[in-house]
Amino acid sequence: MEPVRLGMVGGGTGAFIGAVHRIAARMDGHFTLVAGALSSDPDRSRESTVALGLDPARSYDSFAEMAEAESQREDGIEAVSIVTPNHLHAPAATEFLKRGIHVICDKPLTATLPEAEALEQAARASSAQFILTHNYTGYPMVRQARAMVARGDLGQLRLVHVAYLQNWMTEAVEAQGSKQAEWRTDPARAGAGGALGDIGTHAHNLAGFITGQQVESLAADIQSFVPGRKLDDNAHVLLRFAGGMRGTLMCSQIAPGQENGLSVKVFGDKGGLEWFQEHPNELWFTPHGEPTRRLSRMGAGAEQVAIDASRVPPGHPEGYLEAFANIYADTAAMLRSGVSDAVLPGIADGIAGMRFVTACVASSENNSAWTQP
């Protein structure tokens, strides 16, 4: 099949997540980047276009101009990756959706819940698909964990504990020239959640993806420990799930020694599972009353869903970029086949994430009162 013609909004040279999306999109040869509005600064956008080897004629000064021009071309983009700060997700995505161009959007869905709800309506009204890059769902052993839970290997689910711990914002790096920190700590660009929106939504999504249960109510305690910081950099959340399961979620970006400490633990009446993102090729399974078992990607005991999401033989580590690429590969397969992929995160996951952030802020402001997302 011909590669999907891809555009990109944001993510110019020097932008971390833009580079990640480009690597993920081209890893399996399913996408070709052909156009972009790569920066809100037209000069930087054109410089980025040249640096990436794109046709200068398809470098645009704005996402609105890009959406209109590309929709009129016979060889125009079929899909667009949106990798801007949060406040631009909704307006950019809407421009492409209304022209029938598929959207692959970075998380969280938007800056505010009203924006998210308006974007949901735009997505429902469009003939195009909307994919949200909750990339941790692309890890082979995360998909294996989901399959094992669904099959009943853990029995009746009782507990889930998910944590996402980082250290990069332990100091006021937003005042030290870090552009990544500047917009993530600005309510006008990031929205109501700091660490909650940036990494808490990943943790929330991962808990639901693996267990198949949705949060029914929560009680949150959030903080901004760094003096002067306008958005949270730490959060502790108690969770009650619709299926009766209970859980805890912790996210922090001020935890020295923690580089990207995403982990999830799920326990039922027949056993438990543990997965650690920094050791992604392993899944630990403990049937109740039996020794703990180490399951490896493509090793003995690997499920077909893990094998299908792998590229190299057992013992060769796969990680973050490959998991991200699985989201793109699955998206390409869906776009070419026309058959929706239930595993791919989409608009409903984005709405759930925004309701989670909004409910956490409301709960914390109300002395950690139980709140429905």
Whether residue 248 is contained in a domain is answered as: yes
Residues 10, 115, single domain; the answer is yes
**Domain total of the chain:** 2
To the nearest whole number, what is the mean pLDDT of the chain?
96
* Cα gap 266→14, rounded to integer Å: 38
**Whole-number pLDDT of residue 13:** 82
- Mean of the pLDDT values across residues 157-166? 98
Residues 178, 67, single domain; the answer is no
DSSP helix/strand/coil, 140: helix
Whether residue 372 is contained in a domain is answered as: no
b (16+ CB within 10 A) / e for 197-214: bbbbbbbbbbbbbbbebe
Whether residue 325 is contained in a domain is answered as: no
Q: What percent of the chain lies above the pLDDT cut of 70?
A: 100
Residues 213, 94, single domain; the answer is no
Tell whether the model's pLDDT for residue 247 goes beyond 90: yes
Q: Are 230 and 249 in contact (CB under 8 A)?
A: no
Tokens of 187: 């309510």
* pTM, full prediction: 0.96
CATH number (domain holding residue 59)? 3.40.50.720
* Per-residue pLDDT tens over the stretch 291-315: 999 999 999 999 999 999 999 999 9
> Which residue from 77, 147, 137, 160 is spatially nearest to 301, judged by alpha carbons?
147
Would you place residue 269 in the very low, low, confident or very high pLDDT band (cuts 50, 70, 90)? very high
H-run or E-run covering 289: none
| Residue where a domain terminates, one of 132, 148, 165 | 132
**Whole-number pLDDT of residue 224:** 98
Residue 243: other Cβ atoms inside 10 A: 12
Would you place residue 136 in the very low, low, confident or very high pLDDT band (cuts 50, 70, 90)? very high
- Its domain, for residue 268, covers 139-315+345-365
